Structures are given as structure tokens and as C-alpha cells.
């Protein structure tokens, strides 16, 4: 189904060790509005969406996994040279004691990821409006992350992700209009 190239969707560069920024980025890894929740939400919803827009959910859901990979790379690069003291000060000490260098799906506040983050109503319009909201929340979070760091290299990658959220929201809005137009057509059997 997928062809995996051993490269990120967009280059991830980090100028300095910054465990605190890594902690904040964990929100986009395993938080309620993060990339994992988005990927699973869209790939789950595609089974009940009309055929005319199924590709949108499939494409965006798959791309969200690429974004998850980018976030993981950012976190790794921001923490790879950190001392245990720096990790403790950033609030990541328990994460590293429990998981070593591996990431764990939780929010920046330490709340474990849960399947309750995945919204699926079985109604195409309800699902798509939820998807638009999810993309807008992710866009806002990326903007706050951009504002929170002075690392221009990291900002570059975060800006790419923010822009992709905007594109995804636009694609979902287009899908809403396609479904509305289809619902408004007289059906002849």
C-alpha cells in the first residue's frame, strides 16, 4: 500500500540541544490534537466516507504519519546531547527513566495517548467538520511552538508542518462542499 523512502517529508534541522522545546513538541506526537490522533482518525473515517472523497482521508491520514516521523526526529535531535540534569529540568526525566531514548505517546503534560482522541461519528459531514477543527487546532499549536523557540532551523520545519495543516483543512473544506453538492442532487434509480 505504501512505498517508504528513507527520508523525511521535509528536512528537520535543529541548531541546539533544547530538552524543554522537545517536551513541548511531545504534544504534537501523542497529544489529543497531535499527528498520531489525526492519522488514526482519518484512516478510520475513510471506511464510511463517500467514494468521491475517500482519497482525501487516505492521503491526509497517510501524510500525518510522515509528520509524526518529523516530530519524533525533532524531539530526538533536541534531546540527543542532553544531560540527565537538563532532561530533569525540562520535565523529561521520568520519560527517559521509563522509556530511555524511545518516545512514548503522551501529551506534553504527560497524559497518555488514548483512543478517545479519535473522533468518528459515521456521518460524513460531522466527521469532516471534526477533521477541519482538528487541523485548525494543530495549526494553532504549531504556531505557538514556532513562537516559543528562537531556533530558526527548528522554526523552518515547524512552519512547513503548520502550512500542511492549513492545506489539509482546505482539502477537508472542499470535501464538505463535494458531499453537500452530492446530497443536493436528485437521485434517480
Annotated binding-site residue numbers:
35, 59, 64, 67, 135, 168
Residue 107, sorted as left (phi over 0), alpha (psi -120 to 50) or beta, turns out to be beta
Task: Give the active site residue among 27, 63, 130, 135.
Answer: 135
Cβ–Cβ < 8 Å for 57, 46: yes
Cβ–Cβ < 8 Å for 140, 110: no
Q: Tell me whether residue 99 is one of the annotated catalytic residues.
A: no
- Joined grid coordinates for residue 149: 523557540
Task: Give the active site residue among 27, 63, 67, 130.
Answer: 67
Task: Give the active site residue among 27, 63, 130, 165.
Answer: 165
User: Residues annotated as binding site for Mn(2+)?
Assistant: 35, 64, 67, 135, 168
Q: Tell me whether residue 135 is one of the annotated catalytic residues.
A: yes
Half-sphere exposure of 173 (CA within 13 A, CB side): 9
User: Residues annotated as binding site for Ca(2+)?
Assistant: 59
Strand partners, 112: 106
Task: Give the active site residue among 35, 89, 136, 174.
Answer: 35
Q: Tell me whether residue 35 is one of the annotated catalytic residues.
A: yes
Task: Catalogue the active-site residues.
Answer: 35, 64, 67, 135, 165, 168
Amino acid at each position: 500500500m505504501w512505498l517508504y523512502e528513507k527520508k523525511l517529508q521535509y528536512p528537520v534541522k535543529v541548531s541546539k540541544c533544547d530538552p524543554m522545546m522537545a517536551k513541548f513538541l511531545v504534544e504534537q506526537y501523542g497529544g489529543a490534537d497531535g499527528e498520531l490522533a489525526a492519522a488514526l482518525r482519518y484512516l478510520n473515517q475513510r471506511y464510511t466516507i463517500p467514494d468521491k472523497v475517500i482519497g482525501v482521508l487516505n492521503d491526509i491520514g497517510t501524510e500525518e504519519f510522515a509528520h509524526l516521523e518529523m516530530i519524533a526526529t525533532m524531539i530526538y535531535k533536541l534531546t540527543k546531547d542532553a544531560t540527565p540534569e537538563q532532561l530533569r529540568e525540562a520535565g523529561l526525566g521520568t520519560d527517559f527513566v521509563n522509556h530511555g531514548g524511545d518516545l512514548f505517546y503522551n501529551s506534553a503534560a504527560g497524559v497518555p495517548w488514548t483512543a478517545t482522541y479519535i473522533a468518528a461519528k459515521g456521518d460524513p459531514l460531522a466527521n469532516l467538520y471534526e477533521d477541519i477543527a482538528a487541523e485548525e487546532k494543530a495549526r494553532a499549536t504549531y504556531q505557538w511552538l514556532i513562537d516559543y523557540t528562537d531556533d530558526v532551523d527548528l522554526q523552518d520545519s515547524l512552519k512547513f508542518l503548520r502550512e500542511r495543516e492549513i492545506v489539509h483543512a482546505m482539502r477537508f473544506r472542499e470535501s464538505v462542499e463535494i458531499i453537500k453538492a452530492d446530497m443536493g442532487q436528485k437521485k434517480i434509480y
